A and B are shown apart, each in its own frame.
Chain A
Amino acid sequence: KAGVTQTPRYLIKTRGQQVTLSCSPISGHRSVSWYQQTPGQGLQFLFEYFSETQRNKGNFPGRFSGRQFSNSRSEMNVSTLELGDSALYLCASSLSATGELFFGEGSRLTVL
Protein backbone atom coordinates (compact mmCIF):
# COMPACT_ATOMS: atom_id res chain seq x y z
CA LYS A 1 0.00 0.00 0.00
CA ALA A 2 1.50 3.32 -1.05
CA GLY A 3 2.17 5.82 1.70
CA VAL A 4 1.51 9.54 1.79
CA THR A 5 3.22 11.22 -1.13
CA GLN A 6 4.29 14.85 -1.04
CA THR A 7 5.61 16.88 -3.94
CA PRO A 8 7.91 18.57 -4.45
CA ARG A 9 10.36 17.27 -1.87
CA TYR A 10 12.61 20.32 -2.01
CA LEU A 11 12.12 23.80 -3.35
CA ILE A 12 13.75 27.18 -3.13
CA LYS A 13 11.80 30.41 -3.50
CA THR A 14 12.51 34.07 -2.97
CA ARG A 15 10.66 36.49 -0.73
CA GLY A 16 7.37 37.67 -2.16
CA GLN A 17 6.82 34.61 -4.34
CA GLN A 18 4.11 32.06 -3.75
CA VAL A 19 4.32 28.29 -3.51
CA THR A 20 1.94 25.37 -3.86
CA LEU A 21 2.63 22.04 -2.18
CA SER A 22 0.81 18.84 -3.02
CA CYS A 23 -0.14 15.83 -0.95
CA SER A 24 -1.61 12.49 -2.03
CA PRO A 25 -2.99 10.57 0.95
CA ILE A 26 -3.05 6.85 1.45
CA SER A 27 -5.79 5.30 -0.65
CA GLY A 28 -9.06 5.32 1.28
CA HIS A 29 -8.00 8.01 3.73
CA ARG A 30 -10.37 10.97 3.65
CA SER A 31 -8.74 13.18 6.26
CA VAL A 32 -5.64 15.20 5.39
CA SER A 33 -3.75 17.48 7.76
CA TRP A 34 -0.82 19.81 7.26
CA TYR A 35 1.92 20.72 9.74
CA GLN A 36 4.83 23.12 9.63
CA GLN A 37 8.07 21.94 11.25
CA THR A 38 10.82 24.38 12.17
CA PRO A 39 13.76 24.08 14.58
CA GLY A 40 12.46 26.93 16.72
CA GLN A 41 8.73 26.28 16.86
CA GLY A 42 8.66 22.52 16.36
CA LEU A 43 5.57 21.01 14.77
CA GLN A 44 2.66 23.37 14.35
CA PHE A 45 -0.75 22.50 13.01
CA LEU A 46 -1.79 24.35 9.86
CA PHE A 47 -5.12 22.89 8.81
CA GLU A 48 -7.16 19.75 8.42
CA TYR A 49 -9.50 18.71 5.65
CA PHE A 50 -12.14 16.02 5.52
CA SER A 51 -14.27 15.31 2.47
CA GLU A 52 -13.20 18.58 0.81
CA THR A 53 -14.17 20.66 3.87
CA GLN A 54 -11.75 22.43 6.16
CA ARG A 55 -12.48 20.95 9.57
CA ASN A 56 -9.91 22.79 11.63
CA LYS A 57 -7.39 25.57 11.19
CA GLY A 58 -4.27 26.51 13.11
CA ASN A 59 -3.05 29.93 14.10
CA PHE A 60 -1.37 30.99 10.86
CA PRO A 61 -1.89 34.14 8.80
CA GLY A 62 -4.22 34.19 5.82
CA ARG A 63 -1.24 33.83 3.47
CA PHE A 64 -1.46 30.13 4.26
CA SER A 65 -4.35 28.38 2.57
CA GLY A 66 -5.29 24.92 1.50
CA ARG A 67 -7.87 22.82 -0.21
CA GLN A 68 -8.86 19.22 -0.71
CA PHE A 69 -10.14 17.67 -3.89
CA SER A 70 -12.82 15.04 -4.39
CA ASN A 71 -10.15 12.32 -4.64
CA SER A 72 -8.85 13.41 -1.18
CA ARG A 73 -5.65 14.85 -2.62
CA SER A 74 -4.76 18.11 -0.97
CA GLU A 75 -2.76 21.22 -1.76
CA MET A 76 -1.53 24.02 0.41
CA ASN A 77 -0.51 27.43 -0.82
CA VAL A 78 1.62 30.09 0.76
CA SER A 79 1.51 33.52 -0.83
CA THR A 80 3.88 36.45 -0.41
CA LEU A 81 6.60 34.26 1.04
CA GLU A 82 8.66 35.49 3.98
CA LEU A 83 12.03 34.26 5.21
CA GLY A 84 10.32 32.80 8.25
CA ASP A 85 8.25 30.50 6.06
CA SER A 86 11.33 28.35 5.49
CA ALA A 87 10.37 25.01 6.99
CA LEU A 88 9.55 21.39 6.42
CA TYR A 89 5.88 21.10 5.55
CA LEU A 90 4.41 17.75 6.51
CA CYS A 91 1.19 16.27 5.26
CA ALA A 92 -0.59 13.48 7.08
CA SER A 93 -3.62 11.38 6.29
CA SER A 94 -5.86 9.24 8.43
CA LEU A 95 -8.61 6.71 7.99
CA SER A 96 -10.77 7.47 10.99
CA ALA A 97 -10.96 9.68 14.04
CA THR A 98 -8.34 7.83 16.06
CA GLY A 99 -5.60 10.44 16.06
CA GLU A 100 -3.34 7.98 14.26
CA LEU A 101 -1.83 9.96 11.44
CA PHE A 102 0.34 8.68 8.59
CA PHE A 103 2.89 11.27 7.57
CA GLY A 104 4.62 11.92 4.29
CA GLU A 105 8.32 12.70 4.09
CA GLY A 106 7.59 16.39 3.75
CA SER A 107 8.32 19.26 1.41
CA ARG A 108 11.33 21.31 2.46
CA LEU A 109 10.84 24.95 1.53
CA THR A 110 13.71 27.41 1.62
CA VAL A 111 12.90 31.09 1.19
CA LEU A 112 15.81 33.33 0.20
Chain B
Amino acid sequence: GDSVTQMEGPVTLSEEAFLTINCTYTATGYPSLFWYVQYPGEGLQLLLKATKADDKGSNKGFEATYRKETTSFHLEKGSVQVSDSAVYFCALSDVGGGSEKLVFGKGTKLTVNP
Protein backbone atom coordinates (compact mmCIF):
# COMPACT_ATOMS: atom_id res chain seq x y z
CA GLY B 1 0.00 0.00 0.00
CA ASP B 2 0.87 3.66 -0.09
CA SER B 3 3.40 4.85 2.48
CA VAL B 4 5.37 7.93 3.53
CA THR B 5 8.81 7.95 5.12
CA GLN B 6 10.21 11.07 6.73
CA MET B 7 13.15 11.76 8.99
CA GLU B 8 11.86 11.43 12.50
CA GLY B 9 14.20 13.77 14.32
CA PRO B 10 13.97 15.46 16.68
CA VAL B 11 15.61 18.36 14.90
CA THR B 12 17.03 21.23 16.91
CA LEU B 13 18.17 24.41 15.18
CA SER B 14 19.17 27.91 16.10
CA GLU B 15 17.07 30.82 14.90
CA GLU B 16 17.81 31.84 11.28
CA ALA B 17 19.28 28.42 10.43
CA PHE B 18 18.34 26.55 7.25
CA LEU B 19 15.84 23.75 7.58
CA THR B 20 15.41 20.59 5.52
CA ILE B 21 13.09 17.76 6.47
CA ASN B 22 13.29 14.83 4.09
CA CYS B 23 10.20 13.00 2.89
CA THR B 24 9.89 10.16 0.41
CA TYR B 25 6.81 8.27 -0.61
CA THR B 26 5.60 5.05 -2.19
CA ALA B 27 2.34 5.12 -4.12
CA THR B 28 0.75 3.11 -6.89
CA GLY B 29 -1.10 6.04 -8.44
CA TYR B 30 -0.38 9.74 -8.81
CA PRO B 31 -0.90 11.15 -5.36
CA SER B 32 -1.15 14.69 -4.13
CA LEU B 33 1.48 15.54 -1.52
CA PHE B 34 1.14 17.64 1.60
CA TRP B 35 2.99 19.01 4.57
CA TYR B 36 0.93 19.48 7.71
CA VAL B 37 2.14 21.17 10.90
CA GLN B 38 1.01 20.55 14.46
CA TYR B 39 1.76 23.21 17.05
CA PRO B 40 1.78 22.18 20.72
CA GLY B 41 -1.70 21.38 22.00
CA GLU B 42 -3.35 21.91 18.64
CA GLY B 43 -4.66 19.88 15.74
CA LEU B 44 -2.95 19.68 12.37
CA GLN B 45 -2.89 22.55 9.91
CA LEU B 46 -2.13 22.33 6.23
CA LEU B 47 1.19 24.05 5.55
CA LEU B 48 1.52 23.48 1.80
CA LYS B 49 0.61 21.08 -0.95
CA ALA B 50 1.49 19.99 -4.47
CA THR B 51 -0.79 18.04 -6.75
CA LYS B 52 1.44 16.98 -9.63
CA ALA B 53 5.06 16.37 -10.56
CA ASP B 54 7.36 19.43 -10.48
CA ASP B 55 4.75 21.51 -8.63
CA LYS B 56 6.22 23.63 -5.85
CA GLY B 57 4.12 24.29 -2.78
CA SER B 58 4.99 27.28 -0.62
CA ASN B 59 3.64 29.04 2.45
CA LYS B 60 5.07 31.11 5.32
CA GLY B 61 8.59 30.83 3.88
CA PHE B 62 8.41 27.03 3.63
CA GLU B 63 8.77 25.30 0.27
CA ALA B 64 8.58 21.76 -1.08
CA THR B 65 8.81 20.46 -4.65
CA TYR B 66 7.03 17.33 -5.89
CA ARG B 67 9.82 15.18 -7.39
CA LYS B 68 8.34 12.18 -9.17
CA GLU B 69 11.68 10.82 -10.32
CA THR B 70 12.96 10.56 -6.76
CA THR B 71 9.50 10.12 -5.15
CA SER B 72 10.34 12.92 -2.74
CA PHE B 73 8.74 16.03 -1.27
CA HIS B 74 11.39 17.56 1.01
CA LEU B 75 10.41 20.54 3.16
CA GLU B 76 12.78 23.52 3.27
CA LYS B 77 12.93 26.93 4.88
CA GLY B 78 15.80 29.35 4.51
CA SER B 79 15.64 30.96 7.95
CA VAL B 80 13.66 29.38 10.77
CA GLN B 81 12.12 31.26 13.67
CA VAL B 82 11.32 30.21 17.22
CA SER B 83 7.64 30.26 16.25
CA ASP B 84 8.31 27.46 13.72
CA SER B 85 8.83 25.00 16.58
CA ALA B 86 6.25 22.28 15.95
CA VAL B 87 5.83 18.77 14.60
CA TYR B 88 5.80 18.50 10.80
CA PHE B 89 4.04 15.70 8.95
CA CYS B 90 4.47 14.71 5.34
CA ALA B 91 1.39 13.09 3.80
CA LEU B 92 -0.04 11.83 0.55
CA SER B 93 -3.53 11.43 -0.76
CA ASP B 94 -4.78 9.60 -3.77
CA VAL B 95 -7.77 11.90 -4.26
CA GLY B 96 -8.45 10.37 -7.64
CA GLY B 97 -9.72 7.30 -5.84
CA GLY B 98 -12.72 9.24 -4.55
CA SER B 99 -11.48 9.28 -0.99
CA GLU B 100 -9.96 11.95 1.22
CA LYS B 101 -7.80 9.46 3.10
CA LEU B 102 -4.37 10.79 3.99
CA VAL B 103 -1.35 8.57 4.64
CA PHE B 104 1.03 10.31 7.02
CA GLY B 105 4.70 9.97 7.86
CA LYS B 106 5.64 9.58 11.52
CA GLY B 107 6.30 13.28 11.99
CA THR B 108 9.42 15.33 12.66
CA LYS B 109 9.63 17.44 15.79
CA LEU B 110 11.42 20.73 15.19
CA THR B 111 12.70 22.89 18.03
CA VAL B 112 14.14 26.29 17.21
CA ASN B 113 16.21 27.97 19.90
CA PRO B 114 16.69 31.75 20.13
Contacts and interface: CB of A to CB of B under 8 A. Distances in A.
Contacts of A45: 101-103
Contacts of A33: 100-102
Interface in A76-109: 90, 92, 94, 97-106
Interface string B80-114: 00000000010001010011111111110000000
Contacts of A94: 100
B106 A42 contact: yes
Q: Mostly helix, strand, loop or mixed at chain A's interface?
A: strand
Given A104-B43, A105-B43, A99 B106 contact: no
A21 interface: no
Interface of B: 32, 34, 36, 41-46, 49, 89, 93, 95, 98-107
Interface of A: 4, 31, 33, 35, 42-43, 45, 48, 50, 55-56, 58, 90, 92, 94, 97-106
